[in-house]
Structure 1
Amino acid sequence: MDNEKQHLDKCRQQIEEKVGWGPGAEWQNQDFEALSARIYKETKVSLSVSTLKRLWGKIRYEGTPNMGTLNALAQFVGYENWRAFTVNGFGPPSNGATTKNGVATKEKTTSTRSNIPKAAGIIIAVGIAASMFWWISSRPKTLKYDHIVFSSQPVTNTVPNTVIFNYNAKDSNADSVFIQQSWDPQRRFRVDKNLTEYTSTYYLPGYYSAKLVLNATVVAAHDVFIESNGWLATIDREPIPLYMSEDKILHDGILQVNDDFFTQQKIDLEKEGLWTSFFRVMKNEVVSDTAFQMDVTLKNTFGKGALVCQKTQIVLMGNTGAILIPLSIKGCVGELFLQTDESHDGKTNDLSAFGVDFLDWVTVQCRVKDKKISIRVNDVPAFEGDYKNGIGHVVGTRIMFAGTGAVKDFAMKKI
C-alpha cells in the first residue's frame, strides 16, 4: 500500500469517527449528502456527493483527488491542510526502529564506547547544518506586487456563461498566478503571469466572488453575477448539467420537466440518482434579507427506488450565504438539514414539521423581519428563530427535487 492510499484511508477513518455514523462502507446517499453539508459548514468548501462517493469507493474512479478536495478533508478533521495531515498522521517509527520489507525492526548496535564521542560530534554537526539549511530554504519569500488589475464581464445573461477576466499581475514577484471562480478553491485555475485575459465558464446561475490569487494570497476580488434569464431548469449531471429554458418548462402556470424529455435524453433518474433544479436568478429581482417574504407551492413527483424519500430543497441564495429549507416524506425527516443563519441537522434536531405528503401540493413560506425568521409548511409553523447574521441580499432562488417535481405560485417580495 503506497503512502497516498494510506493517508486517504486514515483520513476517511478519522472522518467516520468524527461524524459517528458507523463504517463508511455502509453509508447511503443521504449520509454523503449530510457529510457534504457538514464539510461546507466547517470549511466553506463544497464537495459534491459524487466526489465523496468516489472517495469512499461507492463510484468507480481510477484517478486521484485534487489538492482542493484533500485540503478540505484535512481541514474537516482539524488540520490546516493536506500537507499538515500527512506529516502529523504518519510519523516515522520510534524507539530506534527501522523498516525492512515494510516491517518495523530493531537495528543491532555494534558501535564501541570509543566511537561514541566522534559519532556524537558528527551527528551534532550534521544536525546543525541541516537545521540551518532548512531555516534558510523554508523562509517564505515576501510577496510584492503593484498595479494590480482584476475585472470581468459575462458574455451572456444565461448559462452556460463564459466570463472574460481582465487581470494584471506582471508587476509582482509571484511564482504563480491563479483566478478562482468563487469561494471554492476547486474552481481555481492557473493563468499566465505575463498575459492579461483569461476566460472561465460558469455552468450554474448564482452570485460568485471571483478572486485573483498570487502564490497563495488573495490580492483582489469582485462579484460575478450569473443570471438565469427567467426560470431555468437543470438536470444536475456532473460536470455539465442539462438545461431547459422557461418556454419549455412553464405550462399553464406550472413549472415542470415533462417525462418525454427524460425519455428523449435516455435519462434514468432512479438509476443515476439525479436531481432536477429550477433556478430564478435575476439582477432586477434582488431583495434585502432584512425584511422579505418568499412563498411557493410545489410537489415532488418522483419517489422511486433510492429516491423514495422525495427529498426537496428550497435554496434562497444570498451574496454572503444561503437559506436552505428541506422537505421529505415524513419517514425521512431524520435525514434532513435546515440552514438559516445557523445549521440544524435532522439527526440532532426535530425537523418533523418538514415531513409532508407529496400526493398533494405543498405550500412553503419563509419570512424574515426584525432579525427573526419564520418558516411555515402547509400554513403550519415549522420553524421560528433568531436571524442575526443574515445572508446579505437575496439574489436568487433554486428549488431542487430528488428525481423531479413541479412548482407554481412562486413569489418573492419585500415587506
Structure 2
Amino acid sequence: MDEQTLIKTSIIEIFKGNGYSDLARMTQRDFEHIGEQLRQKSGILISGTTIKRLAYGEFSRLPQIATLNAIANFFDYKSWQEYRADKVKNAPGKAPAKQAGYKINWKHLSIPGTIIILAGIYFFGATNDSVKNAESASFSFRKNTSNDIPNSVVFNYNIDDVQADSFFIQQSWDKNRRVRIYKKKHTLTDIYYEPGYHIAKLIANDSAIREVDVSIPTHGWFFYAIDNIANYTPEYIKADSFVNNGSLGLTAVQLRESSIDVNKDKRYHYVYFPGQMDVPSDNFTFKTRVRMREVRPSTCPYIEIELFCQRSFMIMRSTTKGCAHEALIRFGEQVMEGMDTDLMPISFDVSQWTDIEIIVKNKVATVKINDKEVFSTHFTSNTRYLTGLGYISNGLCEVDRAELIGLDGKVMYKNDF
C-alpha cells in the first residue's frame, strides 16, 4: 500500500469509527467534527476542509507531518512513521512499486514545449501544503459591543514567523465565515450575526493552528429567521412580548412587524444562551412540551430541538410520520438521518402538544416522547459543557414548558411560562 492510499484509508476508518459509513453523505459540519475528534486525541488542529480533501484523495503531495501525526495519534501511535511502519509490516502482501504510466519523450519536444513543461513542473512542484513554525503564532480576541447582536469582535493575531502560503480567520464552524489575513497586519474586525458559543480558528493554508472560544450569550430568549435556501444572514425578530396564553411563542403579526416575508420558506429560531455554563453535556436531563403552527403551507412541517455544547451539537428534528425521511438526530459523533436510518419512532404530529424528554447519563443518550422511550445511543466525543438551547422550525414553535438540569441538580434553565 502506497502512502497516499494509507492516508485515505486511515481517514475513512476514522469516519467509520465515528459512525459515518457513507462519505458522499457527509456534510461540512461532519468533517469539522472529525477534525475536533483528531484534536482531542492528538492536540493537533486540522480543518474540516483538509480532512475532506484527504478523504477524497485530493492531494498530490503528502500532507504536513503534523497532520500525519494526528492521524497516527488517533490510532494510539506516537508518530506517523511508527504507524506507517506497522501497517507496512502487517500488510498481507506487497506489490512491487510501479513506475508512472506515462513518460515524457524529451527528444521529440520543441524548445517552447520543453520550457512550458519545465515551468509547470516548477510551479506545481513548488506548491507545498506544509506549515512551519506554527507554534510561534498568537491568536486572541475582544468584544467591543458587549453581548449585542450583531456583535463586533476584534481578533488580534501574529503570524509573522509562520511559514505558509495563505492565512485565514474563520469565526465559527462555517467555512463561509472565513476571512483572509496577511503578515504584518495583526488585527481583524469581524461581525457575528448570531449569538451562541463559537470556536474561532486561525488557519494556515488549510490547517487550524490556533483557536479561541467566543461566547456571545443572550439576554433571555432571542428570535430570528433564516431563509432556507437563498440567504444565510439572520433576520431579527423584535418581540416585546413572547409569552402568550401560558406558552413561549411568536405570532405571524410579530413577524410582519419585523419585516419578515412570511411567504418565503424560512427557519425560525428561538435560542437561549446564558452566560453561565456549568452543566456538563454528558450528564443532564431536558424536558419540554412543544408544538408548532405553520406560517405557510408545508409538506413536511418539523420541530428541531437543539442543545448547544462547547464542542459540537445535540439535535433532534422531528416531523410527521409521512415525512420521517426528513428526521435527524445527533449526539456527539453519532449522527443519524431519516434517509438511511429508521427514525419513525421520533416522528409525530408536530401540530399537537407533545412531551419530549432527553436524558444523557455518562454519554448514553435516551429520548422519550410522551413518556415512552423511543431512541437510545452512546457517544464518545467530549462535548464539554452545555452552552444553550434552541427551538427551530419551518413554522412557529409554541413551548409550554422547558427545563434543562444537570444530573447533579444544577439548573441551566427552567420555565413553565
- Range into which the TM-score falls when normalised by the shorter chain: 0.5 to 0.7
1:394 aligns to 2:373 (yes or no): no
Q: Distance in 2 between matches of 1:165 and 1:356?
A: 45
Give runs of aligned pairs for residues 296-315 of structure 1, distance below 5 A. 296-302=288-294, 304-305=296-297, 307-315=298-306
Q: Distance in 2 between matches of 1:404 and 1:137?
A: 55
Alpha-carbon offset, residue 251 of structure 1: 3.8
Residue 153 of structure 1 is aligned with which of 142, 146, 153? 142
Partners of 1:316 and 1:396 within 8 A in 2: yes
Partners of 1:148 and 1:167 within 8 A in 2: yes
**How big is the alpha-carbon RMSD for the aligned residues of Structure 1 and Structure 2?**
4.0
Deviations 1:65-84 (A, max 9, x none): xxx99x6997598343799x
Alpha-carbon offset, residue 197 of structure 1: 2.0
**Between Structure 1 and Structure 2, whose CA radius of gyration is higher?**
1
Structure 1 unmatched ranges of 5 or more: 1-34, 46-67, 84-93, 96-115
Partner residue of 1:281? Answer: 273
Give runs of aligned pairs for residues 334-413 of structure 1, distance below 5 A. 334-341=325-332, 342-413=334-405
TM value normalised by structure 2: 0.67
Q: Which has the higher helix share?
A: 1
Alpha-carbon offset, residue 360 of structure 1: 2.6
Give runs of aligned pairs for residues 252-271 of structure 1, distance below 5 A. 253-269=246-262, 271=263
Alpha-carbon offset, residue 38 of structure 1: 3.6
Partners of 1:227 and 1:281 within 8 A in 2: yes
Partners of 2:129 and 2:164 within 8 A in 1: no
**Structure 1 residues 75 and 312, CA, compared in 2 at 3 Å: closer, same or farther?**
farther
Q: Distance in 1 between matches of 2:195 and 2:108?
A: 67
1:40 aligns to 2:33 (yes or no): no
**Structure 1 residues 82 and 295, CA, compared in 2 at 3 Å: closer, same or farther?**
farther
Partner residue of 1:219? Answer: 209
Partner residue of 1:330? Answer: 321
Partners of 1:375 and 1:382 within 8 A in 2: yes
Question: Structure 2 counterpart of 1:234, which letter?
Answer: Y
Structure 2 unmatched ranges of 5 or more: 1-22, 34-46, 62-100, 408-417
Q: Distance in 2 between matches of 1:314 and 1:139?
A: 43
Give runs of aligned pairs for residues 137-286 of structure 1, distance below 5 A. 137-138=126-127, 143-144=132-133, 148-154=137-143, 155-174=145-164, 176-237=166-227, 238-244=231-237, 247-251=240-244, 253-269=246-262, 271-286=263-278
Partners of 1:146 and 1:171 within 8 A in 2: no
**Structure 1 residues 223 and 119, CA, compared in 2 at 3 Å: closer, same or farther?**
same
**Structure 1 residues 388 and 153, CA, compared in 2 at 3 Å: closer, same or farther?**
same
Question: Structure 2 counterpart of 1:260, which letter?
Answer: V
**Structure 1 residues 117 and 192, CA, compared in 2 at 3 Å: closer, same or farther?**
closer
Alpha-carbon offset, residue 375 of structure 1: 0.4
TM value normalised by structure 1: 0.68
Alpha-carbon offset, residue 211 of structure 1: 1.5
Alpha-carbon offset, residue 149 of structure 1: 2.6
Q: Distance in 2 between matches of 1:207 and 1:406?
A: 24
Instruction: Between 143-152 and 322-331, report the one with greater CA deviation.
Output: 143-152
Q: Distance in 1 between matches of 2:402 and 2:280?
A: 18
Partners of 1:273 and 1:403 within 8 A in 2: no
Residue 373 of structure 1 aligns to a residue whose secondary structure is strand
The count of aligned residue pairs is 329
Q: Distance in 2 between matches of 1:197 and 1:295?
A: 43
Question: Structure 1 counterpart of 2:56, which letter?
Answer: G
Give the percent of matched residue pairs that are identical in Structure 1 and Structure 2.
Answer: 24
Deviations 1:224-279 (A, max 9, x none): 1121221111112434222236743234542211221233345443x311111110
**Structure 1 residues 75 and 177, CA, compared in 2 at 3 Å: closer, same or farther?**
closer
Deviations 1:298-346 (A, max 9, x none): 11110743x2321110011112211111111222112212112312221
Partners of 1:207 and 1:319 within 8 A in 2: yes
**Structure 1 residues 124 and 243, CA, compared in 2 at 3 Å: closer, same or farther?**
closer
Partner residue of 1:105? Answer: none
1:80 aligns to 2:58 (yes or no): yes
Deviations 1:19-38 (A, max 9, x none): xxxxxxxxxxxxxxxx9984
**Structure 1 residues 177 and 40, CA, compared in 2 at 3 Å: closer, same or farther?**
closer
Instruction: Between 130-139 and 195-204, report the one with greater CA deviation.
Output: 130-139
